[in-house]
Amino acid sequence: MNIIETFKSRLQNENFKKKVIRNSGDVAFKIFRTVLLFAMCFIIIHPVLYMISVAFRESSDLYDPTVIWIPKNFTVDNLKTAIEILNYGKLLGNTVFYAGISTALSVISCALAGYGFARFKFKLKGILFALLLFMIIVPPQLVSIPLYLQYSDFNFFGLSSLLKLVSGADLTVNLLDTPLTLFIPAALGTGLRSGILIYMFQQFFRGLPVALEDAAYIDGCGVISTFVRIIIPNASGSFLVASLLSFVWYYNDYFFSSMYFSEAPTISVALAGLKAMLSSLTEGNATADPYAIIAQLQAGCLIAILPLVIIFFFLQKQFIKSVTTSGIVG
Amino acid sequence: MKKHRLSYERKKSLSGYIFLLPWLIGLLGLFMPNFIASVRYSFGNLNLVNGEITPAGFIHYNTAFNSDPRFVPLLVAQLKDTAIIVPVIIMFSLFIAVLLNQEFKGRALARSVFFLPVIIGSGVVISLIQGDQMSNEIINGTRASGLFESGSIFDILEESGINSDIVNVMIGIVSEIFELSWHSGLQIILFLAALQTVPDQLYEVAKVEGATAWETFFKITIPMIMPIMIVNIVYTLVDSFTDYGNSLLVYILELGKKLNFEYSAALGNVYFVIIFVVIALVLFVVGKTVTYTEK
């Protein structure tokens, strides 16, 4: 009672009143922020939790309405089935190999192009930059069919017809079903994703102080060795971000990997076909449980994203730090 | 003296081309020829056996707009969706980025959760997860994700005389909060990075001058992060137009798979020109408001 009395009397004081109002506003905002962020995090995490929960269920638990999150009959059979059908061991190796090489190639070519756009003045810069934007917005679906024809009869951008004039031998190669269909565009920085990476790199490099390079030039460093010795070490954070994004994009890519390969080359392509595979296996088998597929599919998803989540887990600290401190933007 | 300077400039401009070389080869060798080829397909009939194209004029374009029952409605629906989803995603991700930029306990954890969609949020996995949750609910007769349901509040809104179109838009946003949060990952990262680069002195000056939080936000934060805002708007537009589940693209792709390349290419071109116009308009309108601090 006493406290309330004193509080009331202190409320007469204008300054104190203002302070109380401001503080209660702050507290309300903090509560609002916590609730909102918690809810949003929950929405993002929900499907992942659901995936984990279902992947370890026996199919009887799928029918059981009392099972909400924690399975009653814990099993790893779903994982085993998914691993077997996805041909997980082999495809994971493939995927990591393809995505790793493509990432390395595309980060190099995009960093070079981004640096070229960020630091040099040349005649066609405006037009080329417009073409870069153009490349970002042309849907990949539009050029995929002519690209398919080009790959099926690849002539090294006309080089082989030149050679043919000299030697008479036809030198076109069929690139379909080889990982070169992924590596060549990566090495040449072509496509939507590469375009975005170039744009990001340009912004990264514009943020670096020009004085660093000028000092290197004065000391007699050439442009290329300046790039290798000065720029790359100073922009290592941005390289980490770009590599991680690029690796994730290649790892998850469905469109290009499915377009130029007759057999599923990577996990995400195999995953897209997993449902059809599973249902064709149980077809004609009257005793098979049709709903077991759900658990097996979730198990497939789980093992497909697991490597990425593990990588992210280890790199997360550096990733967030380099995103937020080195400054993606100039 | 003057001569020396010129040659230095010249050297620098040449080095620009050297750095762009791989990308230029890709542009001229891979991208442009195929883009031109797809434009040519759309104006002709392709013979699949020998790869020859017989000119057919605007036939495919005519079909698209005058006799195809699906193309125009799909296109209109897609444009409507995009017009709603892009501003919503931009505002949402800016809002989340501002929250994640403040100091509070558990910030690191919250940040990594919001980055999670960037890591796993690609077409295949996410569409499988979503599709599956639905089917499971049907089997069980339960609503595992009933948390995304919020019918009655919208009835109240409608009863109270708010235009039903607006209410429908709101229903759409709320019921797609899942999609929304899974499509904003990269935007949140970019905004967060942009927010870090706003110099503290500006905020100090604003505080000294007695600006309110709102004024500070709209007059300092927003203009300072405008360049990244443009990147985000363009990325969101492209992402929305080329999304895995986009029904118009699915339709165009299906036509391509049925070996109807010419028509598929024509539709693709129409679609692309529309995207181009939309993005050019947005860049023009938003670009006018940008001021770059350096140079």
A294 in reach of chain B (CB within 8 A): yes
| Interface probe with A: pick from B24, B31, B276, most Cβ of A within 10 Å | B31
pLDDT at A322: 67
Q: Tens digit of pLDDT for each residue in A208-239?
A: 778 888 888 888 888 888 888 888 887 777 88
Cα of B13 to nearest chain A Cα, Å: 5
Higher-confidence position of A13 and B77: B77
The C-alpha angle A313, B190, B289, rounded to 5 degrees, equals 175
Q: What's the gap in Å between the CA of B235 and the closest CA on chain A?
A: 8
**Positive/negative CA dihedral, A302, A304, A307, A309:** negative
Question: How much is the ipTM here?
Answer: 0.78
- B130 at the A interface (CB within 8 A)? yes
> How many Å lie between the alpha carbon of B215 and the closest alpha carbon of chain A?
17
- Given this model, what pLDDT does residue B144 score? 42
Q: Which residues partner with A228 through β-bridges? A: none
What value does the CA radius of gyration of chain B take, rounded to a whole number of Å? Answer: 25
Residue where the block lists tokens 């919208």: B154
Nearest to B22 among A188, A206, A207 (CB): A188
Chain A environment of B78 (Cβ under 8 Å): none
Count how many pairs of residues, chain A against chain B, have C-beta atoms within 8 Å.
Answer: 292
| Interface contact flag, B197 A141, Cβ < 8 Å | no
Structure confidence at residue A44 as a pLDDT band (50, 70, 90): confident
Say yes or no for a CB contact (<8 Å) between A50 and B129.
Answer: yes
- Prediction pTM value: 0.79
* Residue A243 CB neighbours (<10 A): 18
Whether the per-residue pLDDT at A105 is higher than 90: the answer is yes
Predicted confidence pLDDT, tens digits, chain B (295 residues): 444 555 777 777 788 888 999 999 999 888 888 888 888 877 877 666 666 667 777 777 877 787 777 888 888 888 888 888 889 899 999 999 999 888 888 888 888 888 788 877 655 676 666 655 555 544 444 444 444 455 666 777 777 777 777 777 777 777 677 777 878 888 888 888 778 777 888 889 998 988 888 888 988 888 888 877 877 888 888 888 777 667 787 787 777 767 677 787 788 778 878 887 888 788 788 777 766 554 3
Q: Using CA atoms, how far apart are residues B94 and A191, in angstroms rounded to an integer?
A: 27
Average confidence (pLDDT) over A47-58: 82
Average pLDDT, chain A: 81
Question: Any chain A CB within 8 A of the CB of B21?
Answer: yes
Query: Are the beta carbons of B206 and B269 closer than 8 angstroms?
Result: no
φ and ψ at residue A173, rounded to 5 degrees: -125, 145
In terms of C-beta density within 10 A (0-12 exposed, 13-18 middle, 19 or more buried), how is residue A60 classed? middle
Q: Which helix (H) or strand (E) holds B55?
A: strand B53-55
What chain A residue is nearest to B122 in terms of C-alpha separation? A252
User: Which one of B124, B174, B276 would you mutate to disrupt binding with A, by most A Cβ within 10 Å of its Cβ?
Assistant: B124
Higher pLDDT, B18 or A140: B18
Interface check A69 vs B, CB under 8 A: no
B154: Cα within 13 Å, side-chain hemisphere: 16
Residue A261 confidence (pLDDT) above 60: yes
pLDDT of residue A258: 77
Q: Residue B148: name the closest of A42, A53, A297, A50 by CA.
A: A42
Dist. CA B114–CA B186, nearest whole Å: 9
Task: Identify the helix (H) or strand (E) that includes residue A63.
Answer: helix A59-63
